[in-house]
Amino acid sequence: MEFRSDVITCSGKYSNNQQKLFSYGTAGFRTKADDLETVLFRMGLLAALRSKAKKAHIGLMITASHNPACDNGVKLVDPYGEMMVESWEAHATHVANASDDELAGVLHCIVTEEHITADHTAQVVIGRDTRPSSNTLHAAAVSGVEALGGKVVDCGVVTTPLLHYRVRCANDPSYGVASNEGYTDKLVETFLKLQSCAQPATSCAQPATSCYCQDLLFDGANGVGGLQMAIMAPRISQALKLTIHNGGEGQGVLNYRCGADFVKVSQSWPSGVPATPGSRCVSVDGDADRVVYSYIDELGAYHLMDGDKIATLVVGFLQEQLSEAGLALRLGLVQTAYANGASTAYVNDSLKVPVGFAKTGVKHLHHMALSFDIGVYFEANGHGTVIFSDSASAAIKEAASTDSPAARRLAAVKDLINETVGDAISDLLLVEVILRHRGWGMRDWDAQYHDMPNKLVTVRVADRSVFETTDAERRCTQPAALQPAIDDLLSTSFLHARARTFVRPSGTEDLVRVYAEAATQSHVEELALQVSRLVF
């Protein structure tokens, strides 16, 4: 395959004159927006090649998620709406770092290695978040796709999960209508159907802590999630009364002291949302692929309901519905090392549902969840979804054609879930369906299990690449002396503290993370401190 002269001409416009090295990691490329224009042009080229290689639509999302507004990023999405396969991540890194003179040669190598022929016109589905830099970066990505004669499907400003959905539908129309309206209609209609069959919600004379209440505050992180919710909220208001705050209409700073990441990390109520005792709030992150809940009880105390709490709620519900429908399907949960130990114990010991552990990063969790008939996966930070195997989908569909209400509920719940990737909006609608079905207030949900006290700290080190881990990042293999020292600490000073700790290099920032969990907060503080000293 020969490259059109546009590649060479355009790469002059998007010249790579940086010393900086880029690496395609768990979140694709992510850094200061000012450094990314060339990278976006080149990811347009790569997405076009990937599309030719797969003879399918490929996705390209421009976002830096929960990171500050001055950052941006890009990641590519494979035909079924999943993260781009790992073997192409190395291609992405090579293309991004090639000098102008090397670029055509690097592209030729990929074409040869991946046996790409010229006979398929590339189709790239592009979405972007609300960041000011996203427009310029979008133009660069479009130039890249078009330089290889490819076509762009422009989704405009959308949430990351909506972009994943659009890619899936473009390749598999049975999944849904491939448009932004198609996504909205699917979620709205399924949610209303599920809620109209549920018990009537009790009137809110009582606070949201003690019974299901349709009132919900929405914290949009001043990002694209608020825009999407503004479209959906009026259409679902008969079943859920959402009040949108931090809605992304230009009043507040993206992700600043609000949104899912801020709420999870600081374990505090988002700014910009009225903090009234007895109220509950759902927070999404800057691109709306993560979700966490919070509530303030009658005494004014703050409570966080993170990804682990959502995962356990979903697993418990699915297990109950499967059993009522008489469906013997293998249900499992996938967590990461960050999952609170109490949540794992609850799912294993009380629900008797198997739990697997994967490395941090959605692609790892997603992959492991595929090993179950119905795989639920969630990171504690609120990124997660449910995936159904083909045979599970067929069994549910067949059971739903009988008069089993549980099977019908399962079939509708499957339609409400965005199986391609964690989706804050789809997840929050699912949480509302379950809470309403059970008539649960926030306190009922919270009472499933009590979190072990925990702490996450970061340690700046000279070179994070010397840290290597195994066992889903729960044990450190390098530097060699570190894990024995940690084990020694756990078996002496913390022997009776039900303590757990691990050290892992961040995949997105130049630092090392230390997680500590134990029976009391003071043990946690001490353990985090001592392990950080071992790392430093």
User: Which residue lies nearer to Zn ion by CB, 129 or 451?
Assistant: 129
- Residues near 269 by Cβ (< 8 Å), separated by ≥ 6? 263, 275, 281, 294, 296, 302
- Residues near 119 by Cβ (< 8 Å), separated by ≥ 6? none
508 is in an annotated binding site: yes
Name the phi and psi angles at 51, rounded to 5. -65, -40
User: Which residue lies nearer to ligand 16G by CB, 236 or 334?
Assistant: 334
Q: For residue 425, what are its two tokens? A: 């909006």
d(CA 192, CA 469): 45
65, 134, 454, 501: which one contacts Zn ion (CB under 5 A)?
Answer: 65
475 is in an annotated binding site: no
d(CA 177, CA 481): 55
What three-state secondary structure class fits 513?
strand
Segment lying near Zn ion (by CB under 5 A), choices 124-132, 148-156, 288-296, 491-499: 288-296
- SS3 sequence, 95-108? HHHCCHHHHHHHHH
535 lies in the site for ligand 16G, by CB under 6 A: no
d(CA 20, CA 97): 8
Segment lying near ligand 16G (by CB under 6 A), choices 8-16, 245-253, 505-513, 527-535: 505-513
User: Which residue lies nearer to ligand 16G by CB, 50 or 164?
Assistant: 164
510 is in an annotated binding site: no
Segment lying near ligand 16G (by CB under 6 A), choices 4-12, 229-237, 441-449, 507-515: 507-515
71 binds, among Zn ion, ligand 16G, none (CB under 5 to 8 A by kind): none
97 lies in the site for ligand 16G, by CB under 6 A: no
Strands 280-284 and 71-77: unpaired
Helix (H) or strand (E) holding 243: strand 241-245
246: left (phi over 0), alpha (psi -120 to 50) or beta: left
d(CA 306, CA 98): 41
Residues, the chain, total? 536
User: Which residue lies nearer to ligand 16G by CB, 137 or 362?
Assistant: 362
383, 409, 414, 436: which one contacts ligand 16G (CB under 6 A)?
Answer: 383
Tally of CB atoms within 10 A around 16: 19
68 is in an annotated binding site: no
Return the DSSP state at 168.
H
Segment lying near Zn ion (by CB under 5 A), choices 139-147, 287-295, 471-479, 485-493: 287-295
Tally of CB atoms within 10 A around 267: 14
285 is in an annotated binding site: yes
- Per DSSP, which regions of 129-228 are E strands? 151-157, 215-219
506 is in an annotated binding site: yes
233 is in an annotated binding site: no
507 is in an annotated binding site: yes
513 lies in the site for ligand 16G, by CB under 6 A: yes
- Site map for Zn ion, 82-121, x if CB under 5 A? ----------------------------------------
71 is in an annotated binding site: no
Q: For residue 396, what are its two tokens? A: 């549910």
Count the helix, strand and coil residues of the chain and give each as a percent rounded to the nearest 5.
45, 20, 40
287 binds, among ligand 16G, Zn ion, none (CB under 5 to 8 A by kind): Zn ion
Q: For residue 525, what are its two tokens? A: 């503080």
Give yes or no: 65 in active site. Answer: yes
Could you please report the per-residue DSSP string of 258-301?
Answer: -HHHHHHHHTSPPTTS---TT-EEEEE-TTS--EEEEEE-TT--
71 lies in the site for Zn ion, by CB under 5 A: no
Taking the complex as a whole, the smallest distance from the CB of residue 190 to ligand 16G amounts, in Å, to 24
202, 319, 393, 508: which one contacts ligand 16G (CB under 6 A)?
Answer: 508
Strands 331-335 and 355-357: parallel
287 lies in the site for Zn ion, by CB under 5 A: yes
Q: Name the active-site residue from 5, 23, 51, 65.
A: 65
Chain residues 335-374 in contact with ligand 16G, contact rule CB under 6 A:
360-362
289 lies in the site for Zn ion, by CB under 5 A: yes
User: Which residue lies nearer to ligand 16G by CB, 27 or 216?
Assistant: 27
379 lies in the site for ligand 16G, by CB under 6 A: yes
Q: For residue 332, what are its two tokens? A: 């499992």
Strands 123-128 and 57-62: parallel
380 is in an annotated binding site: yes
Taking the complex as a whole, the smallest distance from the CB of residue 192 to ligand 16G amounts, in Å, to 29
- Site map for ligand 16G, 65-94, x if CB under 6 A? ------------------------------
360 binds, among Zn ion, ligand 16G, none (CB under 5 to 8 A by kind): ligand 16G
Taking the complex as a whole, the smallest distance from the CB of residue 265 to ligand 16G amounts, in Å, to 11
Rg (CA), the chain: 23
507, 519, 525, 532: which one contacts ligand 16G (CB under 6 A)?
Answer: 507
285 lies in the site for Zn ion, by CB under 5 A: yes
Chain residues 421-450 in contact with ligand 16G, contact rule CB under 6 A:
none
The alpha carbon dihedral of 477, 480, 484, 487 has a sign of negative
209 lies in the site for ligand 16G, by CB under 6 A: no
d(CA 425, CA 431): 10
509 lies in the site for ligand 16G, by CB under 6 A: yes
- Site map for ligand 16G, 264-303, x if CB under 6 A? ----------------------------------------
Amino acid identity of residue 16, one-letter, is: N
Burial of 225 (0-12, 13-18, 19+ CB in 10 A): buried
Contact 423, 289 (CB under 8 A): yes
| Catalytic residue positions, numbered | 65
- Residue ranges in contact with Zn ion by CB under 5 A: 65, 285, 287, 289
Binding-site members are 65, 285, 287, 289, 379-381, 504-508, 513
Contacts to ligand 16G by CB under 6 A = 26-27, 360-362, 379, 381, 383, 506-509, 513
